[in-house]
Amino acid sequence: MTRMVIISLLLIFAAQINPLSAQEEKQLTFDSFPHMVPQWSPDGETIVYQKIDVTGYSQIYTIPASGGMETALTIDSYEHISPQWSPDGNLIAFSKDDTTTFFQIYTVSKFGGAQTALTVDRFRHLEPEWSPDGFAIVCEIKDVTNFPQIYIISTKDKTKTALTSENVIHFWGRWSPDGSTIAYAKLDASGFLQVYQVYNVPSNDGVENALTFSDADHLYPQWSPRSNSITCAKKTATGFEQIVVIPATGGSETALTFDSFRHVGPQWSPDGNTIVYNKQDATGFFQIYYISVEGGAEFALTSDNYDHFAPEWSSDGKAIVYFKSDQAGFWQIYKAPFPPFFPTSVDDSNKAAIPLAYLLHQNYPNPFNPETLISYEIAHPGHVTIKIYNSVGEAIKTLQDASQKAGTYTVRWSGTDNNGKNVATGIYFYSLQSEKIFTVRKMILLK
């Protein structure tokens, strides 16, 4: 096989995706009510969400992450939305449309019981999010200016501090993981929603700082785990939202997606290497996708004919929870492993059921340093070759070149070539070849 043929095949197959099978996706809720906006507890044991139940109102519920019985934390005749875990996992904050007829910020124990109102005024309070230390909550309040403003509320004495006050819209206040800064979207003089941040939040003497300036709306800003970058969905001139990354110190935006589909709701993985989001792709439905923060190929986590929304990572980065419409038209809570396939070993032990198809899974981790695992499935016995290629199509490493029985296998690549020399940082490709298939995926080595 010539080098030009190899390069052509690499380009064709680099973006190949193997979405979840029905067996890998796990449904957690099943009744005939809408379940929405799930979020993992900090310890990964429990999922909180809002559910429109028999009361006819949105209530706050929890369910074990492993599945089981739902627990209603609220049961009164008011709307309860946007539940958020406290950093210690003991409380849940939410917005509640109470007797004031305005949405107020409340908290409730993870076991349910009495609710505590943090606000009681005649304004609308939405989108609560805890500070990393748990001593404050940021939210948007439509105050006397008649525009949503960014406020912080003390969870100790319930005092409120306005961080913004201009007569323009401010949305989606989000704490940086180090607690020093709040980012948000602001409809400024450009006529577009731009990403802003306020420094020195703990001392309340911060100054607003614009991070984006282009003629496009920037939606749903989310901090990286290291507080050094922000991702958001940018609505481009084409009318499609794309995923971009912005340095926390300001500077050029980096676009991660480019095609003519909608990409919304980005969320960083706990290790900061991957971003998951919703994409309304060629299926016509919103699917769950993920992409490396370095860019490259997008990968579909789901691909069925249902809408999927609000993906959230578990704290260990090994699973994603989201809500999805089911066959009866109700929103249900689902979770899925990440990456979509978990290797069980790094040798040729083959105890799993015989696969029904040939599959080459995405390596994990990716990007990686210094080593990564590559898993693949063989539907029929035969000669199998696993090779690594550099960016110009040269085969630099052979990981497998022998006959194998049908089954699931995993090999390890430690970033060396066939001569045992360490290879450089960059983009590499790996292939699975047998009598029945030749397929390729892309990976990134970062040092």
Buried b / exposed e along 98-132 (16+ C-beta atoms within 10 A): beeebbbbbbbebebeebeebbeeebbbbbbbbbe
Average pLDDT, the chain: 88
In the chain, DSSP finds a helix count (H) and a strand count (E) of 1, 35
The pTM of the whole model exceeds 0.95:
no
Residue pair 387/430 in contact (Cβ under 8 Å)? The answer is: yes
Residue pair 267/287 in contact (Cβ under 8 Å)? The answer is: no
Q: What pLDDT band is residue 357 in, cutting at 50, 70 and 90?
A: low
Show me where the domains of the chain are located. 3-12+342-445, 23-337
pLDDT at 39 over 90: yes
The dihedrals phi and psi of 8, each to the nearest 5 degrees, come to: -60, -45
The C-alpha atoms of residue 193 and residue 188 are separated, in whole angstroms, by: 7
329, with CB counted inside 10 A (0-12, 13-18, 19+), is exposed
Strand order in the sheet with 274-280: 262-268, 274-280, 286-292, 299-300
The C-alpha atoms of residue 365 and residue 106 are separated, in whole angstroms, by: 39
- Please tell me the least confidently modeled range out of 113-117, 198-202, 268-272, 372-376: 198-202
pLDDT at 362 over 80: yes
pLDDT at 258 over 80: yes
| Whether domain 23-337 has CATH 3.40.50.20 | no
Q: What is the pLDDT of residue 15?
A: 42
Q: What is the pLDDT of residue 350?
A: 42
Specify the CATH number of the domain 3-12+342-445.
2.60.40.1930
Question: What single letter denotes the amino acid at residue 14?
Answer: A
Compute the residue count for the chain. 447
Give Cβ neighbours of residue 387 (< 8 Å, ≥ 6 apart): 395, 397, 398, 399, 430, 431, 433
Identify which has the larger pLDDT, 397 or 21: 397
Average pLDDT over residues 295-308: 85
CA distances for 273 relative to 7, 151, 224, 314, 366, angstroms? 27, 30, 9, 14, 8
Buried b / exposed e along 36-46 (16+ C-beta atoms within 10 A): bbbbbbeebeb
The dihedrals phi and psi of 175, each to the nearest 5 degrees, come to: -70, 140
Residue pair 153/118 in contact (Cβ under 8 Å)? The answer is: yes
Identify which has the larger pLDDT, 345 or 233: 233
Residue pair 197/211 in contact (Cβ under 8 Å)? The answer is: yes
Within 144-253, strands assigned E span 148-154, 160-162, 170-175, 182-187, 193-198, 208-210, 217-223, 229-235, 241-247
pLDDT at 11 over 70: no
Q: What is the pLDDT of residue 359?
A: 80
User: DSSP 3-state assignment of 251?
Assistant: coil
Average pLDDT over residues 39-68: 97
135, with CB counted inside 10 A (0-12, 13-18, 19+), is middle
Q: What is the pLDDT of residue 20?
A: 56
